[in-house]
Amino acid sequence: MRVLITGGAGFIGSHLCEAYIERGDEVFVLDDLSTGSIHNILHLKRHPRFHYTIDSVHNRAVVAELVDRCDAVFHLAAAVGVQLSVDEPVRTIETNVHGAEVVLRIANNFGKKVLLASSSDVYGKSAVIPLREDDDTVLGSTKYSRWAYACSKAIDEYLGLAYYQEHGLEVVVARFFNTVGPRQTGQYGMVLPRFVEWALKDEPLLIYGDGQQTRCFGYVGDVVEGVIALMNCREAPGRVYNIGSEEEVTIEQLADMVIEMTSSKSKKKFISYEQAFGKPSDDMRRRVPSLERIRQTVGFEPKMNLAEILTVVIQDIRGKIRAR
């Protein structure tokens, strides 16, 4: 099988590349390295079944050439992270919406199956827990650029499902819930790698708000297995699937776990969202997925619990700090 992975030099994308290479498949990557890193795929560069192109998904000619050569497309390329959506909302909206439009249109021209990466942010501030794929979304005010990312991913979903309904294009939508693991950077606001790096340096762990907001952290290896299973499933297209973990933890509890597991001297420091982002912002209190649909469809089951994930991430980041 030949797969195209847009955003393949990113955190999740690079792990997906590895998984397909290990399966004996051929992998093509398209990434402009705006948020991904060439270091994530350096170990794959010399592999005969791995090919990469440094360019943008906005380049229709390049996308068309790569889609034509492949059997299926994983569209992971996107503006990522809360920090980026707050700091650069125009870039966030344009990258996500236009990139998906280009990939879906060209995939439809060639009749190639697409897995479209979406986000749990689409649920917004919905208080119905667990969050189910067909639940209503509850987004905050447009005065908060925080929700630009959520809106852009929702539009991607609408467009992907529209191609399925109108043209019969095989499109699968995967909503990721806080995917974490080795290679993830805290540069764009991802909380777990930031906490771990601060703790290893004995620096204060900055907790936004009261720290009682909850999240569920899914291990990247589990997520990759899930999206491959969805891509291979004939019954999956035309629907949205939550993917991640159901193990709920408050952000303050996460900070406590990180401090304990790193034997850190760090202290917790609570700051307001306005202090964190330099402008008023908004957030959701709980984010817990229902995994019922993906379980029934492909038998997905997360294997790594949070303590095991933290052990792996701490080891990864500790190694990077020592290598600097």
Which residue numbers are catalytic? Answer: 149
Joined tokens for residue 200: 């290893």
Q: Do 250 and 213 contact (CB within 8 A), yes or no?
A: yes
Long-range contacts of 202-206 (CB under 8 A, 24+ apart): 202/264, 202/265, 202/266, 203/266, 204/266, 204/267, 204/268, 204/269, 205/255, 205/258, 205/259, 205/266, 205/267, 205/268, 205/269, 206/269, 206/271, 206/276
Q: 228 vs 181, 197, 210, CA distance in Å? A: 18, 31, 37
Burial of 48 (0-12, 13-18, 19+ CB in 10 A): exposed
- Distance, CA of 46 to CA of 48 (rounded, Å): 6
